[in-house]
Amino acid sequence: MTSKRFVIIDGNELSFEEGETILQAARRAEIEIPTLCHDDRLTPAGACRICLVEVEGANLMQPACATRVSPNMVVRPPTPRVTRNRQFTLSLHLADTIQDRALAEDSNPSRLHDLAERYGTAGQWVPVDSPRPGRPSDDNPYIQFRPDRCIACSLCTRYCDQIEAVSAITLAFKGAKTTISTADERSLTETTCELCGGCIDVCPTGAMTEKAALAWGKPEMDLEKVRTTCNFCGVGCQVDLNVDRAANRVVKVTSPPPGTTVNDGNLCVKGRFANDFIHHPDRLQDPLVRNEAGELVATSWDEALDRVSKALLSVADEHGNDALAFISSSRCTGEENYLMQKLARAGFQTHNVHQCAAT
């Protein structure tokens, strides 16, 4: 007789796929189990112990993120023991980082504080003595590691290994001294690090943070996110510009959450950090046209577009439509490239249209 392939979670009988974890089966059924060190893109580490659940027949509670379901397994609804353990663990993690939420969120939001607020704690405890060494001589221009905020969840090192595939950072030392380090404690720029900033993005406590945004001094929650398409290459990653409205300035760039856009929560060094150009004084603010003396002068968009359309029409009238050619760029969006070919083909009936990604 074959056993039925189902699991019972919180009283719900659920089918499951081979290899699924309790967390995956629960989430498919919209059963909430809180997590801190889990990321769907990474292999589970079972490091934070926030997701512990009670499984019938097991003496010890099991991490939902790392325990595979098996036929006829019964995962109990949240019991007082599970709730007590979660609150205890949250207090323990908070004692190992910055307990004051406002201070903890001086730059990045803290998922740890979010969880503590949502699920409660076992009270504020005396700070844990965890002398994690930092890398004060790491002079890379972008990423700051603040060891007093690290809870050794290993999200950053797993991201660096498994998503970025460069293994520039690693867990180092033991016990309370466990920290995030590099080979010979070198600066990130002397390692295989690609400065993608993904370690900042996954860090749940703000231990990994962005130097320039930290220096700007406004927490991320006080910035307004404006979704746009990165224009550094043709991939079309979606980015969130984090704008300080009062100063009219883009302070930093973050990725939309994993699973929501084409870049799945990832960015490259340019997309994440190369945003100084937005406020560079040399940047053109207005279109330029030539005056009668041949000098470039600023004008309005209406005037500039009028000049362009007249010039295009006069070439077409005098030499025919195929005397015109339209060149676009892979740095433009798909929509902009579509409009360029539409202008060529529908507007001027010519197929003389090209774009650098086409070769």
Q: By the criterion CB under 6 A, which residues form the site for ligand SF4?
A: 143, 150-156, 159-160, 164, 166, 168-169, 180, 188, 193-199, 202-203, 205, 207-208
Choose between 23 and 42: whose C-beta lies nearer to ligand SF4: 42
Q: How far apart are CA 183 and CA 181, in angstroms?
A: 7
3-state SS, residue 275? coil
63 interface partner picked from ligand FES, ligand SF4, none, CB below 5 to 8 A per type: ligand FES
DSSP structure string for 78-129? PPHHHHHHHHHHHHHHHHTS--SHHHHTSSS--HHHHHHHHH--S-PPPPP-
CB of 142 closer than 8 Å to CB of 189? no
- Could you tell me the smallest distance in angstroms from the CB atom of residue 48 to ligand FES? 3
- Could you tell me the smallest distance in angstroms from the CB atom of residue 280 to ligand FES? 42
Q: How far apart are CA 121 and CA 84, in angstroms?
A: 8
Choose between 209 and 328: whose C-beta lies nearer to ligand SF4: 209
151 interface partner picked from ligand SF4, ligand FES, none, CB below 5 to 8 A per type: ligand SF4
CB of 76 closer than 8 Å to CB of 121? no
For residue 232, what are the CA distances in angstroms to 132, 267, 270, 274, 345?
A: 37, 11, 7, 9, 27
Long-range contacts of 99-103 (CB under 8 A, 24+ apart): 99/124, 99/127
Choose between 197 and 271: whose C-beta lies nearer to ligand SF4: 197
- 318, exposed or middle or buried, with CB in 10 Å at 0-12, 13-18, 19+? exposed
Choose between 180 and 268: whose C-beta lies nearer to ligand FES: 180
166 interface partner picked from ligand FES, ligand SF4, none, CB below 5 to 8 A per type: ligand SF4
Query: How long, in residues, is the chain?
Result: 359
- Could you tell me the smallest distance in angstroms from the CB atom of residue 115 to ligand FES? 10
50 interface partner picked from ligand FES, ligand SF4, none, CB below 5 to 8 A per type: ligand FES
Choose between 38 and 113: whose C-beta lies nearer to ligand FES: 38
203 interface partner picked from ligand SF4, ligand FES, none, CB below 5 to 8 A per type: ligand SF4
At 31, the amino acid letter reads I
At 146, the amino acid letter reads R
* CA-based R_g, the chain, Å: 27
Choose between 77 and 141: whose C-beta lies nearer to ligand FES: 77
Using CB under 6 A, count the residues that bind ligand FES.
Answer: 12
Per CB under 6 A, does 239 bind ligand FES? no
Choose between 63 and 197: whose C-beta lies nearer to ligand FES: 63
Per CB under 6 A, does 213 bind ligand FES? no
- Could you tell me the smallest distance in angstroms from the CB atom of residue 132 to ligand SF4? 8
Binding mask 16-55 for ligand FES (x = CB under 6 A): -------------------xxxx-------xxxxxx----
CB of 29 closer than 8 Å to CB of 20? no
199 interface partner picked from ligand SF4, ligand FES, none, CB below 5 to 8 A per type: ligand SF4
CB of 29 closer than 8 Å to CB of 57? no
CB of 14 closer than 8 Å to CB of 6? yes
- Could you tell me the smallest distance in angstroms from the CB atom of residue 35 to ligand FES? 4
198 interface partner picked from ligand SF4, ligand FES, none, CB below 5 to 8 A per type: ligand SF4
Q: Which residues are paired to 52 by β-bridges?
A: 63
Q: How far apart are CA 23 and CA 62, in angstroms?
A: 11
Which residues are at the interface with ligand FES (CB under 6 A)? 35-38, 46-51, 63, 65
